[in-house]
Structure 1
Amino acid sequence: MSQEKSTDGEESSAGLLNTKLVMTSSALFLGVLGVPTSFFAPEILEYYGTPPEGVEVLFVKAAGAMYLGFAILNWMARGNIIGGIYSRPVALGNFFHFAVVAVMLLKRLILESHSAIIVIAAVAYTVFACCFGYIISTGGQSCG
């Protein structure tokens, strides 16, 4: 595990440990979303009142594959210093994913629904978007 030098010459692993926590937790979060959406798309659509036929099932399964892809990416990159020059694309990809979905969920909360699942998802996506935004802006420094 590599460590960073602090301004007074002491070694510190705070940036690595905190980005590792963000990467690990986001990998687990996306994995938990990815497995059911990949394998139980018709049941998910039925639960939300959408007929499970045609292109809707395909889109839910594609979203599940994207979640699993990001989960694997984050899991495999969790030991890297994220946000620095080498892993900046990982941080940017995660930031844009979490930020765009957070905006969509928050808009839904404001305009339509206040269901518990939407509130929980909006909070989780907003927290991850803020963490990855902070990681990008500080070049991999701690996230909290």
Structure 2
Amino acid sequence: MNTKLIMTSSAILLWAAGLILTFTPDFVLKLLSLAESPASMVAFQVIGALYFGFGMLNWMSKGGLIGGIYNRPIAIANFSHFMIAGFALIKNLSANPESSPVLWGTGIIYSLYAVCFAIIVFRHPLPEQR
């Protein structure tokens, strides 16, 4: 598996989500049909900062050997994030199939990244796969 491609694409995805959540939380709240309040605005901005920081971690780690025992904390952190969030999205979507297409797309993307990072975590990398 090409870990550099996975790390780069996840960094870009997380940066985009981070910037959108940080600078336009009101737009995201309306898109998800959620009530806009000062607390939800700040919560979304904090989540945006988290996503942006996680994207920076992935970007800075993209050139290193990742998988198996190499850079394991980074691989586990990504696997945990995408798996847990993917499960939460899938659970929500199965209970509410009429949910926003944005949530459906996010659920699919998160599930794909969860599978990719599971492979990275549980498989020994080959040097030419970097």
TM-score (norm 2): 0.88
Residues 41-50 or 63-72, more deviating: 41-50
Is 1:75 the counterpart of 2:59? The answer is yes
Report the Cα offset of residue 31 of structure 1.
1.1
Q: How does 1:116-131 map to 2 (within 5 A)?
A: 116-131=101-116
Specify the alignment match of 2:24 in structure 1: 40
Instruction: Give the whole-Å Cα distance in 2 for the aligned partners of 1:23 and 1:49.
Output: 31
Check the 8 A contact 2:22/2:46 in 1, yes or no. Answer: yes
Give 2:125's aligned amino acid.
Answer: G
User: Does the CA contact (< 8 Å) of 1:43 and 1:52 recur in 2?
Assistant: no
Percent identity for Structure 1 against Structure 2: 35
Q: Which runs of 5+ in 1 are unaligned?
A: 1-14
The SS at the match of 1:129 is helix
Shift of the alpha carbon at 1:63?
1.0
- Alpha-carbon offset, residue 107 of structure 1: 0.6
Give CA-to-partner distance per residue, 1:23-67, whole Å, 9 cap, x none.
011111111111110111122213333332221111111111111
Q: Name which one, 1 or 2, has greater alpha-carbon Rg.
A: 1
Q: Match for 1:118: what amino acid?
A: L
- Which residue of the partner structure matches residue 91 of structure 2? 107
- Aligned to 1:120, the other structure's residue is in SS state helix
Separation in 1 of the partners of 2:30 and 2:11?
A: 27
1:93 and 2:77 equivalent? yes
Ranked by relative contact order (alpha carbons within 8 Å, sequence separation 6 or more), the top structure is 2
CA deviation profile, 1:68-99 (whole Å, cap 9, x unmatched)? 01110001100001124341000000000000
Paired residue total: 127
For 1:39 and 1:117, how far apart are their aligned partners in 2?
A: 18
RMSD of Structure 2 on Structure 1 (CA): 1.8
Larger helix percent = 2
- Corresponding position of 2:35: 51
